[in-house]
Structure formats: structure tokens, C-alpha cells
Structure 1
Amino acid sequence: MTARAALRWLLVLAYSYAGWRHLATPAPFLAITPPWVPFPSEVVAATGVAELAGAIGLMIPRLRKAAGLSLALYALCVWPANFHHALANVAIGGETLSWWYHGPRLALQPLIIWWALWAGGAVDWPFERKAPS
């Protein structure tokens, strides 16, 4: 198994778990949803479905690239919730998280976006450079 395939499967597991959690226990995700987001319950449910669909798509070769692009866009779109969680010091289950969590979480979001693109085969950078057509 290649490194790309192994990391793709890791991403499939991560997004499958996250999608299931969004649907099974939406309360923590509702708590970090910024107040300007309309229909927060429906948005949280839709994000869970999007994560599950993206994970499934990564497993299907003909859908893989579209799934990678979609998951990258998804990760970009949910970044405001991560900022809201950090900046509003939102408590989950009565507990707030420190900047030891929030700082790396916010800083690593671009890596998560790249990982989805790379796992889906939308980009090869920085490992392989394709010759221009």
C-alpha cells in the first residue's frame, strides 16, 4: 500500500467518524456554530452527511478526485466554526479548551485542506510534479 493510499484511508476513517458524530451527537457542533449561520441544526446535519459522502467518495476511484475537492472545500467552509469556538471560548460539555488546542487546530486547517486534495488525487504537490501539457 502506498503512503497516499494509507493516508487516504486514514482520512476516510476520520471523516467517517466525524460525519457519524455530527449526526449522532450534534450538540457540540451546534455549540460552536457561529450565530450568523442560518438553520444551525440543518447545517450541522448537512455537514455530517457531507463528511460521510466525502469519505465514501474517497473510496471509489472514479469519484475520488471530486471527493477530495469537496472535502477540501468543506474544510474551508467549516473553518469559521473553529474560529468561533476559539475566539468565543465556547464550552463543550461545560468545559472550555485552551489555546494549546485551538492554536494548532486553527493552524493545521490548511494542512487538512491540502490532505483532502492530495488524498483525492487533485494535487500531487509537493511530492510529484507533473510535466505541463
Structure 2
Amino acid sequence: MIVTEPLSRRLMHFGRVYMHALAKQVHHLDINRYHDILAIIYLHNGQLTQKALGQMLDKDKSSLVSIIDLLTEKGYVYREINPADRREQLLKITAKAEQEVPEIIKAFDHLNKTSTQSITATDISIFNKVLATMEANLKQQTI
């Protein structure tokens, strides 16, 4: 019998290698995970709700609360009541995050360029399209 390797194994392995490389580049910062989530909050400039972030990341409410709590404890994020809808909380960044997140984004840019340096723009586009199609196929199966 031939055992087929799960696609997820290679993707997760790449993710670990990528995140390890990121950790080396930003090791001096006071954060060792959730760099991507912090960057998303930063890029939304205080207009992202906790609920919208959870939907964007496909994270359940309790997981997301734990992540935001950690980022808050580390001094990067705080919650503020949305004046347009008092039931919602907007995620805002602190002065500390204002200083450090651009460095994280720069590290992401560097890693993206490094990891794709010998790959054409067309191949990267195809790769992204194939990944999106595979994700959609799996989501169809679980409905």
C-alpha cells in the first residue's frame, strides 16, 4: 500500500521554517509570536473590530481573546469601545507597537522576497490561485 503524504505536512513545515526565520530577525522585540496578527491590527489603523479580526483569521472567539489578551499584556494592543456600535471593541495599537511593528512588516517583506527570489511572478500567482482553490474545495467538503 502506498501512503500519500498529506499536503498539510509540507505547508506546515514551510510555515515553521518561515516563522523561525522571522523570529531570528525580530528576536530583540518583546514578542515571540502573533507577529502577523499584530501587523494586521496595525495596518487597519484602529478601525478593526475583534469580531472582524476573528472572521478574517477564521479563529474562534476564545482563541482570539487569548491572543489579544497576550498582545495587550505585552503592551502592543488595547481595546476601545466602538463609538458607532457600543457592542463592538476596536483594536488599537500602542506607542510601543507604532515603533516596533514597521520592523516586523519589514521582516515579512524581506522573508517574502527571500523565499520567492527564484520564482516568477506568474508562478507565485498560480501558486496563490491553486492554494485558494484547494482551500475552497476543502471548505465545500465540510459543508
TM-score between both structures, scaled by the size of structure 1: 0.31
Higher share in helix = 1
> TM-score, normalized by length of structure 2?
0.29
**Which has the higher relative contact order, 1 or 2, with Cα contacts under 8 A spaced 6 or more apart?**
1
Q: Which has the higher strand share?
A: 2
